[in-house]
Structure 1
Amino acid sequence: MSAIKIVADENIPALDPLFGQLGQIYRLPGRSMSADQLVDADVLLVRSVTQVNRDLLQGSQVKFVGTATIGTDHVDETALADLGIQFASAPGCNADAVTEYVLSVLLHLADEQSFSIFDKTVGIVGVGNVGSRLAARLQALGVKTLLCDPPRVDQDPTISDQFMSLTHLLNQADIVTLHTPLTHQHLHPTHHLLNANNLPFLKPNAILINAGRGPVIDNEALLSFTEDRPDVTLVLDVWEKEPEVNRQLASHVRIATPHIAGYSLEGKIRGTWMLYQAYCAFTDRSPLLRFEDLLPKAEVTSMTLSETASLLPPVKLLYDPYHDDRAFRATLVSDTVEQRRLFDLLRKTYPVRREFSALKLNLSDHQLAHFKALGFSVSET
C-alpha cells in the first residue's frame, strides 16, 4: 500500500512526530493553498487562515480534513459532507491559552491603571470553551462575572437565570471580553455583534477585549466610538480584515496583538494532537503518542514568591502582552501588501510561550488559593 499524502499548513507544529508515521507530509503556506496543490492529497490539515470550501477540494482525493483550531467559520462543513470528506476540528485546544492571555492583560492593566481586579465586574460574551474556562478561573479568584450566551440559553432554558442580555451586560460590566464564534446565518448572528448602536452602552472607563473573532466588532464603528470615548481601554488580538489592520484604529488600542491569544506552545501542539487522535479514530488505528510525550521541558519550571508578592510577577514571567504589542506595532506600515506579509510572519515566527501550568510556584499558605485559581501549579513553602 502506498503512503498517504498529507498536505498541511507549514505553521502547524508537531506534524512530524504525529503524522510523519502515517504518510508523506507536504507543507504549504496556509493562506495561499490552491486546488491544484490538493489533487492527489489524501489528508488536508489547516489553520484558520485557509478557506476550506468546495472550490478548494472539488476533484481532489482528500478523505479527511482537519483544522487545528477551535473556530470552524473558515470551513464549509456542508460542502465537505456533500463530498464525503471526514472533518475534524480541535475544540478547546487553545482555550487555556486564550484564557491566560485575558488574565495576563487584566493583571498588566490593573498594575498600569492602579486598580484591583477584585474590585471589577467582568462581563464574558460567549461562554463556550474559552468563556467558560475564563469564568471558572475568575470566579475561583473571587472576581464577579456576568455571562451572556443566548445560544446556550436556547439549548437549556433552565440556566437562563445565570445569563443576561448583551445590553444589560454592557451596562453593568467594568470589563467586557468577547469569546464568541463568528456566525452570520444563525438565530443569534455574531457578525458585528458590537456596533454603533450598542458600543455606547459601555460604562465609563470600561475595558473592552476581543480575543475571539475580528468581525464580531464593527471595526469602523469602534474607531468612531473610541474617538468620542477615549476613556474606554481597548485590547484587540483580532481584527476585522486581518491580516490587514486598520492602522488608525490600532493607534487607539492600548494592547494590540496579531491574533496570537491562543498561541501557547501547549495550545498549538494540543491542536495537532487532537487532529491526530481524530484521524486515528477515522482510520481505526490506535494512537501511538500521548500529548505529554510532545511537550519539551519548560526553560523555567519553578519560582519562589515572597509573602508580599502580587499576582503579576509569575504571570509576567510567562507572558507579557506588551512584548507582542511592540512587535506588532512595528509591522503596521503604510504599504498594505507588506503589512499583510509582516502580520503572517509574526505569527509564523512566534516565540515559545508556555501556559501557567508549566510553572510551579513555591509560596506561603495564604497565597495558594489565588495562584491555584489562576492555573499555576502550587506548593507551600
Structure 2
Amino acid sequence: MKIVADENIPFVQECFGQLGEIVRLPGREMRREDLLEAEVLLVRSVTQVNEALLAGTGVRFVGTCTIGVDHLDLDYFERAGITWASAPGSNANSVVEYVYAALAHMDVDWQHQRVGIIGCGNVGGRLHRRLRAQGVECRCYDPFLTLEENPDLTDLASVLACDVVCLHTPLTHSGPHPSFHLLGAAELAKLKPGAVLLNAGRGPVVDNEALLAHLQGGADLKVVLDVWEPEPDISRPLLAQVALGSPHIAGYSYDGKIQGTHMIYQALCRHLAREPELSLEQLRPAVEDPERRLATDDFWTGLRALIPQVYDIAGDDRRLRELASQAEAGEADFAKGFDQLRKHYPKRREFSNYRVQGEGGELPEVQRVRLEALGFVVE
C-alpha cells in the first residue's frame, strides 16, 4: 500500500511505516500525478483535497492531522466512496496556550478582563472552560450551541464589547451562519478602545483589508494574528500594524502534532480493520528539564516570566517580521518563507509537561488553582 503524506506531519514513518510505503511531499505542492498509485493520503490544512486532486487516483482514505476540515471536499468524498478522518481536539491545548502566551507577552492579565470568545468548539470551548476555572468573566458567541451547553452564550455585539476578543471558528461560506468575513468594517468599529483582537481560527473570518484600514485609521486596538487572508502570501502592511504576528502555528505544539498523527493512525487502522500497535505514550518523549519556579510575591509578574520559559511567542513574531524584511529587500520569497517557518517550527512543548514550584516552596492555593487551570503541573 502506498501512503502519500505531507512532509510536515511528524512521526509518519513510526506510525504508518508498518502499514505501507511512505512518500513525503510538500503539502502545498501535492498534485494529482503524485497520487495515481496511492491508496492513502495524509495532509494538513494547506492541501485542498477535492475531485481535481483525487479523480482517477487510487486514494480510498484521506486523513487530515488537523481540527478543521474546510480544506476537504466532503461532498466529493461521499460521492466517490472515500473514507476520511480528522483530528478534532488534537491541537486545542496548543491554541489555548498560544492565547495565554500572547496575552502575557502584551501584559494583558486576563484575570481582570472580560473575555469574548467567538466559536466555542474544540478550541474555543476549551479556552472558555479554562478561563471560567480561573474565575474569568466570559461572553461567548456560537450560534450552533445552546445555553444548556454554554451558559455564557450571548449575541455577537456583546462579545465584541469585551476587553479581549478571541476567534476560534472554522471557515464556512454557506449555511445559516457562514463565518467568512464575520468581522468586517462594521463589526471592527464596535470593538472598544484598547481592546485585544486575537484570531487563531481561520484567516478569512476577519476581513483583512477592512482590518488594515481600521488600524491605519488610528484605531486603538491590539491585534494578534496567527491566521491570515490569504496565506502564505499575507499582507505585509497588515503584519506591520499588528501587535503580534505568527505564521499559522498556534496549533503547532509538538504534543498537538503527535496527537494529531496518532489519531489519524488509529483511524486508518480502523479503516483497514487492523489493531493499532503503537500507543500515544510510546510516541511522546519526556521533557528533559521539566522543573520551573514561580516568583510568588506578584503572581502576574511571576506568570509573565514563567510562560516565555515554556513558549517564546515573541520568537514566532520576530521570525515572521525578519522574513518580511528580507522579502522587502528582495532577499527572500515571502510565501515560500512562510511555509518554511511552519516546516521548521521549533519544538514547543505544552504546559502540562512542566512542574511548577514556588520560589519559597509551596504555592498559595489561589495560585495553584490558576496554574493548574492553565495546564501546568503544580508540585
TM-score category by the smaller chain?
over 0.9
Matched letter for residue 196 of structure 2: I
In the TM superposition, residue 280 of structure 1 has moved relative to its aligned partner by 0.9
What is the aligned partner in structure 1 of residue 46 from structure 2?
A: 49
Contact 1:194 1:217 in 2 (8 A): yes
Would the aligned equivalents of 2:294 and 2:303 in 1 still touch at CA under 8 Å? no
Alignment length, in residue pairs? 368
Q: Which moved more, 1:136-145 or 1:328-337?
A: 328-337
Question: Percent identity of the aligned residues?
Answer: 48
2:288 pairs, out of 299, 304, 309, with 299
Residue aligning to 1:255 = 244
Alignment deviations for residues 351-376 of structure 1 (CA, whole Å, 9 cap, x no partner): 10000001011232312111111100
TM-score, normalization: structure 1? 0.94
Q: Which residue of 1 aligns with 2:16?
A: 19
TM-score when scaled to structure 2?
0.94
How many angstroms apart in 2 are the aligned matches of 1:158 and 1:354?
34
| Letter paired with 2:378 | V
Q: 1:305: how far off?
A: 2.8
- Counterpart residue type for residue 363 of structure 2: D
1:322 aligns with 2:314: yes
Shift of 1:160: 7.3
Residue 336 of structure 1: CA displacement?
11
Counterpart of 1:163?
153
Measured against aligned partners, the alpha-carbon deviations of 1:294-319 in whole angstroms (never above 9, x if no partner) come to: 11121321123343252222211111
Task: Find the aligned partners of 1:88 and 1:228 in 2 and give their Cα distance.
Answer: 44
Matched with 1:283 is: 272
RMSD: 1.5
Say if 2:303 is the partner of 1:311.
yes
Which of 129, 142, 147 aligns to 2:135? It is: 142
**Aligned residue number for residue 374 of structure 1:** 374
Q: Single out whichever of 69-78 and 358-367 deviates more from structure 2.
A: 358-367
The aligned residue for residue 345 of structure 2 is 350
Partner of 1:339: 334
Retained in 1: the 8 A contact 2:167–2:200? yes
SS at 2:189 equivalent: helix
What is the distance in 2 between the residues matched to 1:14 and 1:160? 36
Q: Does the Cα contact within 8 Å between 2:103 and 2:109 map onto a contact in 1?
A: no
CA contact (8 A) 1:106 1:117 kept: yes
Aligned pair in 2 of structure 1 residues 159, 46: CA closer, same or farther (>3 Å)?
closer
Give CA deviations for 1:303-359 in whole Å, capped at 9, x if unaligned: 233432522222111112111101001111246981100000100010100000010
Q: Which structure 2 residue ranges, 5 or more long, are not aligned?
A: none
Task: Render the CA deviation track for 1:176-210: whole Å, top value 9, x for unaligned.
Answer: 00000000012100000000121100011000000
Give how far 1:116 is off. Answer: 3.2
Preserved contact between residue 244 and residue 336 of structure 1 (Cα < 8 Å): no
Q: Would you identify which runs of 4 or more consecutive aligned residues in structure 1 move more than 6 Å?
A: none
Question: SS in structure 1 opposite 2:220?
Answer: coil
* Residue 129 (str. 1) matches residue 129 (str. 2): no
Answer whether contact 2:111 2:136 (CA < 8 A) is retained: yes
1:93, 1:268 within 8 Å by CA — same for their partners in 2?
Answer: yes
